Structure 1
Amino acid sequence: MEQLIQHLKHFHQLSEALQHNLERYFTKVVLPKNELLITEGSVCRQLYFLETGCLRGFYNLDGKEITHWLGFENDFVTSFHSFITQQPAVENIQLMEGCVLWAISKETLGGLFEEYNEVERLVRIAYEKYYIRLEERFVNSQFRTATERYEHLLQRAPHVVERVPLGYVASYLGISQETLSRIRGRL
């Protein structure tokens, strides 16, 4: 919980009362590698803070898994569309390592919005970070070659290739595993 509090303080000051309530309302969740945190078709009712571990968001398309985002320590993770709209998720979230997460329900978070103005600001910042990641992914996929996408990944997040299986990295980059192997061989 201390890591979550420190992470939030990086973005905005927290009152003592809010810190106390965050400790009361967030629930620690420890899950093993390969566990599915969220499955398509279910409604996501929790927002998670990832303390340790890594996970991926993926879609099933014609029997093939398409990894569209990766999460690591200090990320807020959920199926954002499902969490916000309370509609069934179209994605799955799978743990690639054993993870320690802190969960808060949508209802509890809504109650904190009413009680503490700074919570709205913190959630807005989390949503902004998520939006920026989505836009960066879009720009990468539309305007960079496969080699440029891989080089960009190595520059911005080298830990990804150390912690994520190459098949998932290839899917995340929008290329085949064979293409990724050729690119890695040339670099």
Structure 2
Amino acid sequence: MRARPAQASPVTVLTPIVPGERDALESYLTGLSNAPGGSPLARVPGTHFARWVIVPDFVTDPKQPAPDPLGSPHLLFTSNVDGSADDYLAAVADTLTAEAPEIWGRCVGCPRPATGAGLARYLRHNAIGTGLFFAAYPRATVQAVTAALDVHDRLVRLLVDTQLAGPAAIRAAFLKEFRP
């Protein structure tokens, strides 16, 4: 049997932070966790998982022949996405029009304004290869995963609601909930 190609793709972008902007960037990113609508990345179509991490420097391993410092803090953006990395980065640049200037706008070389095609080119330019990639659902789209989770939640709710019911009542509730 031949393996089917994976649906999900990795995205990894590493950008140097403008000197003096690290604290403001960290504060802004921290504030996103309390945003009313949740993560802005949830608005970007095809996002399975994504995160921003500020990397102050590489940890030097004693086994490493020579230190390899970054020279300045960097912003690491990683994501597991539906489709190609290029299409996803274009969607990020087109969708995060309010957030991108506050995030990548604090990074060295980011275009002004930090949106649209210019930002997408910048992100592609700073993309790095992904050496290890794990996707929880490598052959399923975000839409398929969301639909499966909805069925799971409906089934759990049905089981809780009918846990003391008899077989006929459980069957009737199941058919009412899941019959097409």
| Superposed pair shares fold, TM > 0.5 | no
TM-score (norm 2): 0.29
Greater per-residue strand proportion: 1
Higher-Rg structure is: 2
TM-score (norm 1): 0.28
Larger relative contact order (Cα-Cα within 8 Å, sequence gap ≥ 6) = 2
